[in-house]
Structure 1
Amino acid sequence: MAFILLYLYQGRPLPDNIWHFLFFMQSIEGIDTSFFNVSWSMAVEEIFYVAFPILIVLFSLVIKQRNRVFWAALICMMAFSMAVRFGWDYDLAGWDTSIRKSLIMRIDSIAYGAMFGIFITHISRRAFYISVLCALMITVFLLFSWKHMATVPYGRIGLDLVFIACPVVCAAIVTYAVKNWHFENTDVIRFLADISYPLYIFHPVFLKLFFPDGSVPSFEKLVLTVCFIIAFSYGFFRFVETPILKRRPRY
């Protein structure tokens, strides 16, 4: 809605498929650059929030154990995206727009985060070291094969590493670090956590407002813009999110 108001304010015509964006359906098979193109990630997130509860309800009809219901729903989401990535006839040369930003190919990304957030809350030291080693190996592989991502088999292997191995490895490292190095108790981490969602939601709106032509701003203007976005995000958290969260038990 903020982008619609921004377009109207700037006198720019809205796209014919504006309803796709309002219902987060604009990137089912790839990114749509006609309007608010960075919203592809929000589309992945919102559709997951719609599809996952439906799967929970369906699996709960045949599975009685609650933990198994969640696992079944998560595995179903992961398997779906993995099957689409393997079975879809796509052009690897355009993998960034047609694969990385495609809703049906990336909906499992939220599932990996949910898996660690709900079930995998403890990472042993051995698993942490293995994860760090895997992260280094993945980085080395991608560095040497990045220019071959549009070819087979480098592209298939590289995409699997980017979309499956990287999220799992990074989640394991972060989980271990937070639990053992007490990052969650620092003021900086708490502040970043507080403003993270409004920062994620509103930063493209302000960037489009302040730099409508997409030109590279001066360093001073960029710093001022970043400071303004951070301040706005904190204000949104403080005066909008916090009051709603305090009233949450009433709803």
Structure 2
Amino acid sequence: MNNLQAPLAAANNNRSFGLDVCRTLACLLVVFGHMLGHSTPHPALAGLAFLATFGVDLFFCLSGFLIGRILLKEAAHWREQKIRGLTEFWYRRWMRTLPLYFFFFFVSLRFDWAGATTFVQQFHYLVFAQNFAWNMTDFYRLSWSLAVEEWFYYTFPLVMLLMIGLGTGVKRAAMIVIVLFMVVPFLARIGLPIQSARYDDARYIVLYRLDAIGFGVLVAYVYTWYRPAFERLARFWYVPLTFAAALIVLTRQGLPWTLGSKFEQSLFFTCSAIFFAALIPAFFSLRASGWSLLNRFVKYTSLISYSIYLGHIFAFILVINILNRYGLHEVVYNNPWLAYPIFIACVYGLAHLTYTFVEKPFLKLRDINGFSMSGFLKGLQRFNAGK
């Protein structure tokens, strides 16, 4: 089994190819968007760098759909399991996301694009306090989206468990919490100050962006309890695609920050989340193509997409440093036809390494039969009792 087949064999055989396409598209939009900030691409091509923004938006909606399906299924047992169901959910999500996040956090302390820094200055990143309701610094900038994800993982199921504990049924509790996660960020964007006209200033703040994941959970809600409506969304995919394309064009023209009011700016975020979330059923309905090489590329990229996302900036830094060290910067870096293939090869190479040696071991540990958060806590209690 070669290096490409090995991680593919470890992947879940029940993965949805269409959702793999969605994840691959979202990931590569971010990578290519950031890559276009390097070298000397044609102005028309360089002008597409803003698409990285929508790659993250698409991923938020996809994440909401995937996690929403898990939550809605598991929450049915939370009345009997009480806290155990919640801690098991947190355990699985944190074993999936935190090891690689912490790995690149420590790498960033020395090799961040903004320069070296110290743990004492940046320790708040360990608890995702870098951008909850305020602007973050340029250190470990990519972590802004992980902070949005982690705060969602923490707060959404916690509020849902509270609703269930108060006697609300799972279906109704889910809808109440979904509405909260759609409305509160909208109101926060209106009520809290946005200091600058730059698009980035608002899109990096956790409290402003939780609704993008919330709309993804809404699609999971429709999938779970209103399957015919979900299938109709898949059939009429061209409607949300048209609106999403219109939003992309408007963004290219300077919206939403040329709009006159915070309400209109906030509505722009909401519309983006709605239209991209509405595309998820279409992606879900996709089946593998007749091109095996393309299918393998999509599945492999999707499999290591988390490593690609967190590691691609460091891959760029590595390439640039090597070019500078060997006096090739002027020859290679300034020629996008040479620089970009090298960038992409390094991105995939680094992602393969971090997936293999950081992500995968923790995923195996997480999935060991009988090894769980509840088991760990019980073992810890027995250990303390034996002292």
Q: TM-score, normalised by structure 2?
A: 0.54
What is residue 273 of structure 2 aligned with on the other side? Answer: 167
What is residue 34 of structure 2 aligned with on the other side? Answer: none
Are 2:225 and 1:116 aligned? no
Letter of the structure 2 residue corresponding to residue 164 of structure 1: T
* Residues 133 and 36 of structure 1: CA distance in aligned 2, closer, same or farther (over 3 Å): closer
What is residue 309 of structure 2 aligned with on the other side? Answer: 200
Q: Considering only CA atoms, is the larger Rg found in Structure 1 or Structure 2?
A: 2
Q: Distance in 2 between matches of 1:173 and 1:148?
A: 21
Q: Deviations over 1:57-115 (max 9, x none)?
A: 21112243222222222222222111101222334514421x11111111222222233
Letter of the structure 2 residue corresponding to residue 250 of structure 1: G
What is residue 287 of structure 2 aligned with on the other side? Answer: 182
* Residues 151 and 171 of structure 1: CA distance in aligned 2, closer, same or farther (over 3 Å): closer
* Residues 239 and 117 of structure 1: CA distance in aligned 2, closer, same or farther (over 3 Å): farther
Q: Distance in 2 between matches of 1:109 and 1:177?
A: 17
1:1-251 matches, cutoff 5 A: 1=102, 2-8=104-110, 12-14=116-118, 17-91=121-195, 93-97=197-201, 99-120=202-223, 122-124=230-232, 127-143=236-252, 146=254, 149-153=257-261, 156-161=263-268, 163-179=269-285, 181-183=286-288, 186-211=295-320, 217-218=333-334, 219=336, 220-238=338-356, 241-242=359-360, 244-245=362-363, 248=367, 249-251=369-371
Is the CA contact (8 Å cut-off) linking 2:142 and 2:310 kept in structure 1?
no
Which structure has more RCO (C-alpha within 8 Å, separation ≥ 6)? 2
Is the CA contact (8 Å cut-off) linking 2:256 and 2:264 kept in structure 1?
no
1:27: how far off?
Answer: 1.0
Q: Deviations over 1:3-50 (max 9, x none)?
A: 434534799332754122111111123432252122111111111111
Which 5+ residue runs of structure 1 have no aligned equivalent?
Answer: none
1:199: how far off?
Answer: 1.1
Count matched residues: 244
Q: Distance in 1 between matches of 2:339 and 2:247?
A: 37
Percent identity, aligned pairs only, is 20
Q: CA RMSD in A?
A: 3.3
Which 5+ residue runs of structure 2 have no aligned equivalent?
Answer: 1-101, 322-328, 372-387
Q: Distance in 2 between matches of 1:130 and 1:231?
A: 38
**3-state SS, counterpart of residue 111 of structure 1:** helix
